């Protein structure tokens, strides 16, 4: 149990376009989902925390208008990178917290974004 | 403020030997501590956690970690390393003050030689 999926697993896009990444909890309800960004050979940096039905909480330095997060249901959160630029190229990872169990996060497999 | 330190960028160990990956932390309240493993181009897999109770925590794949409050450490250990244990290991911490923001260490790459 506690499986989190992400789609797509990788995406290449042109500069200026928008890209949507989906994060789904497949076998549990996730009251909270987290979006991380990971640069090569570096740790995970929390971008934002999203709670179902409410606005996401962004970390300092993360542009809200650039990285749009929607958590429309207890099993789905989306991250949209708007007007992507090459510097947005990165590995994006989501995680989910089960509603009844608070301590552990379950991570998706990640989405690699390359902006040309 | 919460912080996590993994002092070693890389750990090398021979297969069959014991391994230790170090982690120290700093939190305001009581710590919730986690270890995750990441394989290339993959998300993180949960290994084990310490919330309360016994200081020695046993997790997946034969890994264990010891919580040491006085030294604010939570080192990951395994008695006998396997080549397949080679991966990137992250220590993470959050406190019990009500928020759920988890801070990750920089990661330690483990190489197990056959």
* Res. A102 pLDDT band, cuts 50 70 90: low
Spell out the per-residue pLDDT of chain B, length 114, in tens: 788 999 999 999 999 999 999 999 998 888 899 999 998 877 889 899 998 889 999 999 999 999 999 999 999 999 999 999 999 999 999 877 666 778 899 999 999 999
Convert the pLDDT of each residue in A35-52 to its tens digit. 999 887 778 899 999 888
Q: Is A60 on the interface with B (CB under 8 A)?
A: no
Indicate yes or no: CB of A105 within 8 angstroms of CB of B46.
yes
Convert the pLDDT of each residue in A42-91 to its tens digit. 788 999 998 887 889 999 899 999 999 998 888 999 999 999 999 999 99
Rounded to the nearest integer, the mean pLDDT of chain A is: 90
Strands A10-13 and A111-115: parallel
CA gap B61, B64 in Å, rounded:
9
Total beta-carbon pairs less than 8 A apart between chain A and chain B: 46
Provide the pLDDT for residue A101. Answer: 58
Residue A6 distance to chain B (closest CA, Å):
10
Provide the pLDDT for residue B42. Answer: 78
Provide the pLDDT for residue A41. Answer: 73
Residue B36 distance to chain A (closest CA, Å):
10
CA gap A9, A79 in Å, rounded:
13
Per the document, the length of chain A is: 116
Indicate yes or no: CB of A104 within 8 angstroms of CB of B46.
yes
3-state secondary structure of A48: strand
Provide the pLDDT for residue A53. Answer: 79
Provide the pLDDT for residue A25. Answer: 92
Residue A4 has pLDDT above 70, yes or no: yes
Residue B103 distance to chain A (closest CA, Å):
8
A32, A46, A107 member nearest B43 (Cβ): A107
Q: Are A60 and A46 in contact (CB under 8 A)?
A: no
Provide the pLDDT for residue B13. Answer: 98
CA gap B81, B19 in Å, rounded:
6
Q: Are A2 and A98 in contact (CB under 8 A)?
A: yes
Q: Which residues, in sequence order, are CB contacts of B39 under 8 Å at separation 6+?
A: B45, B87, B88
Provide the pLDDT for residue A1. Answer: 64
Provide the pLDDT for residue B28. Answer: 83
What is the CB-side half-sphere exposure of residue A58 using CA atoms within 13 A?
13
Provide the pLDDT for residue B41. Answer: 74
- Cα angle A32-A19-A86, degrees, rounded to a multiple of 5: 110
């Amino acid at each position: 149990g506690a499986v989190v999926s992400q789609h797509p697993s990788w995406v290449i896009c042109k500069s200026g376009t928008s890209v949507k990444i989906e994060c789904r909890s497949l076998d549990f309800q996730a009251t909270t989902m987290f979006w991380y960004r990971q640069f090569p050979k570096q740790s995970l940096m929390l971008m934002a925390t999203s709670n179902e039905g409410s606005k996401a909480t962004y970390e300092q330095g993360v542009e809200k208008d650039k990285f749009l997060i929607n958590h429309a249901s207890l099993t789905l959160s989306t991250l949209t990178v708007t007007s992507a630029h090459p510097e947005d190229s990165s590995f994006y990872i989501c995680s989910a917290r089960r509603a009844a169990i608070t301590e552990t996060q379950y991570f998706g497999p990640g989405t690699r974004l390359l902006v040309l | 403020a919460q912080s996590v330190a993994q002092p070693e960028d890389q750990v090398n160990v021979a297969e069959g030997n014991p391994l230790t990956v170090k982690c120290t932390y700093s939190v305001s309240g009581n710590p919730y501590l986690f270890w995750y493993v990441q394989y290339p181009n993959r998300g993180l897999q949960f290994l084990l956690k310490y919330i309360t109770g016994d200081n020695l925590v046993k997790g997946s794949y034969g890994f264990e970690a010891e919580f040491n409050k006085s030294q604010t450490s939570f080192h990951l250990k395994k008695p006998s390393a396997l080549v397949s244990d080679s991966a990137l290991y992250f220590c993470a911490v959050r406190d019990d003050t009500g928020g759920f923001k988890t801070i990750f260490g920089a990661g330690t790459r483990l190489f197990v030689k056959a």
